Chains A and B, each alone.
Chain A
Amino acid sequence: MSDQRIRFYQTGTFTVGNRLLDPSDRAVQASTARANALTSGHRACQGCGEALGARYVLDAAMRATGNQLIAVNATGCLEVFTTPSPETAWQLPWLHSLFGNAAAVATGVAAAMRVKGKPVRVIAQGGDGGTTDIGFGCLSGMFERNDDVLYVCYDNEGYMNTGVQRSSATPPTARTATTPAMGPERGNVFGTGKSLPLLAMAHNLPYVATATVADLHDLEAKVTCAMGIHGARYLHVLVPCPLGWGHPTDETIRMARLAAECGLFPVFEAVDGEVVSSTPIRRRVPVEAYLRGQKRFAHLFDGPTPDPRIARLQALADQNIRRFRLQPEVTP
């Protein structure tokens, strides 16, 4: 009966809330009592996925911790658009130190809480640049020490705050200000970049997960799960950036959805270094469906014939689908 209830539901649990759902099955975001840890008046671009992701994550963590939460923020869009003096959009205790040290600063906050015997939890957050590149040393140290911090990377696949430059999270072929669509191999080159979730897993963290702003329930469940665990945890959230990706401001969630549904962004969970579950693709689409909507990939489609690199991206997606078992009914 219980699974039938979901099956026959008007919208299942895909929508944020729904008056018909039991309140406990609704997303934190459906509640007027949500913390709004990141509130209105911030200066993010229209349709910013990062603004959305940060509120999703922090509100869920606020609920999970009974508002006993402190956030540490790396430099980047999220920091800049929330705290231009004299106004801040944060409603929880929040600290920004530098671009590359958020994980370490969070370690310090967590240490302070522990030494003072306060049951207050700590989240560190940053963009992909602040996480996979400049902040990786501090992050790896925090991971390795198993400090009691949930680190959240809001991955918009580039250095957006400085005007959309390449980071090690920028996908191959994507045009950025430092990987222009020029020369023999236009955009970002193949064979570069790294997967922070996999690197996090290599630290044997008690919990590593990926998520997108397109699947709120999944994201909130992961935050809740992460906050139920002590030690170093890592959450990697895909947050499309209309400015950097070149998609309409109302397509932010759709882009995140397509990224997951085509397989380029695998959504999964790992415990103690092993993948324990992945969110199955619901309606698989070819990578082209995802790429076409974004100006950063426009050069793949401007020739008379399809750019062969689309097939290479498709191969990456297919590999993810196999590797993370994103289509359990298809993979052997």
Chain B
Amino acid sequence: MLKQLECSRAIAEVIARCRPEVICAYPITPQTHIVEALSELCRTGELAPCEYINVESETSALSVAVGASAAGARAYTATASQGLLHMAEVVYNAAGLGLPIVMTLGNRALGAPINIWNDHSDAMALKDAGWIQLFARDSQEAVDLHILAFRLAEELSIPVMVCVDGFVLTHSVEPLDVPSQEQVDRFLPPYHPVQVLDVSDPVSIGAMVGPEAYTEVRYLAHHKQQRALERLPELAAELAVILGRTSGALLHPYRLDDAETIVVAMGSVTGTIEVAIDELRATGLAIGAIALCAFRPFPLVELAQALAPAKRVIVIERSLAPGLGGALASNVRMALQGGAIPVRTVIAGLGGRPITRVSLRRLFTSAAQDALDDLTFLDLDTGAIDRELARWGDQRRSGPSAENLLRDTRRPR
């Protein structure tokens, strides 16, 4: 049943229907509304039994979840940006211990400069921590992915991060369907951990592993991700039957038929991309898009197959790997290795910069003419950059570039 809801609220409600037993909360924009709503659901008793714990840091938030999960409780937390980095050590740890925690990441840029707006810098920073990372392309998928996340996590004993673009999705208010308790229960069985702290079967969890077995432990972590590649589509299909809509996949193709140019992206930007593609298709341009839902595990084979017919691939990258380009594009190139399809990296929408339909249309058009460099920064204010670089040439020390650029960009051009 569709209801006009803020996405964060809807996520909170679906989380509640997943019956988490321990929730750890620590405020950071833009995920805060989710845990706020959950605190309400716990207080009113709508979500019970559940321990809602206000922790003193993200490190503790995830650590509490680690303890709860190891003790056999279904555990949930949410964070964003600096919060994810703050808990980074625990992020790796939860994965290493194979604890099926589900965490929402309200994707946000990383400081400095501090910036509360959306991009994927945070998720990319911890992409190899061993978690499954699923990116929601819209609010409804953001809601539904959480059910999938718990099921996948618990089946494989692996934590899952559901990446939801900050503000763009988290704060959007639109008609959303929150799956009913009955639907969720049909899909998500109670949590049966493979290892648990149990006084009647007292195991030691978290041993120190030396060179003789560390590689194997890591291999098994990889193996779980490979299993997830198989299970994710199956589970998504199962969920689709229950919900009557498709949410979650390894990737979502869009108008790939005869596409010579294929745009690859993750998250909410895919909506704008699809609109731009519709417009360009109308002009006769053979262009399509792929919205990656699973970034970890990375669907190399599936992506390679989908991209095989293309003449060129454009990756809309929501984060920057300084000195290289972008993490997503690098991964896409790996999927296409050995082939001749060029992959162009487009850094776009950093720190909440709007990615407009107009800019995209312009970008895709020139891409289709093979006029793009390997690395492009969408809507880069080259004037500001040039002026700053000139200053750098003049004097070795010129104050923080960010502030200079800010001054320049505000100056009437």
Contact = CB atoms under 8 A, between A and B. Distances in A.
Interface of A: 67-70, 72-73, 79-80, 82-86, 88, 90-98, 100-101, 103-117, 120, 137-138, 140-141, 144-145, 147
Which secondary structure characterizes the binding site on chain A? mixed
Contacts of A94: 197, 202-206
Given A70-B199, A108-B68, A115 B63 contact: no
A96 B22 contact: no
Given A95-B206, A97-B63, A137-B60, A108 B199 contact: no
B202 A90 contact: yes
Which of A72, A100, A106 has the most B CB atoms < 10 Å from its CB? A72
Which secondary structure characterizes the binding site on chain B? mixed
A85 B203 CA distance: 12
A83 B206 contact: yes
A137 B56 contact: yes
Interface string B193-214: 0000111011111111110010
A83 B207 contact: yes
Contact of B90 (A95, A97, A147): A97
A318 B113 CA distance: 51
B54 interface: yes
Contacts of A82: 204
Nearest to B60: A104
Contacts of B56: 137-138, 140-141, 144
Contacts of B89: 98, 100-101
A208 B21 CA distance: 30
Contacts of A111: 21-22, 51, 53, 64, 67-68, 73
Given A96-B205, A98-B89, A144-B56, A67 B68 contact: no
A85 B209 contact: yes
B67 A85 contact: no
B52 to A, nearest CB: 9
B359 to A, nearest CB: 43
Nearest to A62: B199
B242 to A, nearest CB: 27
Contacts of B202: 90-94
Interface string B108-152: 000000000000000000000000000000000000000000000
B16 to A, nearest CB: 14
Interface in B59-108: 59-60, 63-73, 75, 89-90, 93, 97
A90 B204 contact: yes
B73 A96 contact: no
Contacts of A86: 207, 213
Given A98-B93, A112-B51, 12 more contacts: A70-B71, A70-B199, A83-B204, A93-B204, A95-B67, A96-B206, A96-B207, A101-B66, A103-B60, A109-B197, A115-B50, A138-B63
Nearest to A100: B59
Contacts, number: 165
Contacts of B354: none
B55 interface: yes
Given A90-B202, A140-B56, A145-B54, A97 B71 contact: no
B197 A93 contact: yes
B330 interface: no
B57 interface: yes
A114 B208 contact: no
A96 B203 CA distance: 11
Contacts of B93: 97-98
Contact of B67 (A83, A109, A140): A109
B329 to A, nearest CB: 33
Interface residues of B, number: 43
A80 B206 CA distance: 10
Nearest to B101: A108
A95 B65 contact: no
B383 interface: no
Nearest to A84: B208
A92 to B, nearest CB: 5
Contacts of A101: 59-60, 63, 66, 89-90
A42 B45 CA distance: 47
B206 to A, nearest CB: 3
Contact of B68 (A83, A84, A112): A112
A70 B205 CA distance: 11
A13 B73 CA distance: 43
Contacts of A104: 55, 59-60, 63-64, 67
B49 interface: yes
29 contacts: A70-B71, A80-B208, A85-B208, A85-B210, A88-B204, A91-B202, A93-B198, A93-B201, A94-B202, A95-B70, A95-B197, A98-B89, A100-B59, A104-B64, A105-B66, A108-B67, A108-B68, A108-B69, A108-B71, A108-B75, A109-B67, A111-B64, A111-B68, A112-B22, A112-B51, A115-B50, A137-B57, A144-B56, A145-B53
A82 B204 CA distance: 10
Nearest to A91: B202
Nearest to A96: B206
Contact of B21 (A90, A107, A115): A115
A108 B66 contact: yes
B68 A69 contact: no
A155 to B, nearest CB: 22
A147 B203 CA distance: 24
A109 B70 contact: yes
A139 to B, nearest CB: 10
Contacts of A98: 63, 89-90, 93
A112 B71 contact: yes
B70 to A, nearest CB: 5
B216 to A, nearest CB: 11
Contacts of A138: 56-57, 59-60, 63
Contacts of A69: 199
A67 B198 CA distance: 11
Which of A85, A105, A106 has the most B CB atoms < 10 Å from its CB? A105
Interface in B284-307: none
The 9 closest A-B pairs by CB, nearest first: A108-B67, A141-B56, A96-B206, A112-B71, A104-B63, A112-B73, A88-B204, A108-B68, A105-B67
Contacts of A140: 56
A109 B68 contact: yes
B130 to A, nearest CB: 14
A90 B117 CA distance: 47
A141 B60 contact: yes
A117 B71 CA distance: 12
Contacts of A137: 56-57, 59-60
A83 B210 CA distance: 11
B63 A79 contact: no
A107 B64 contact: yes
A116 B207 contact: no
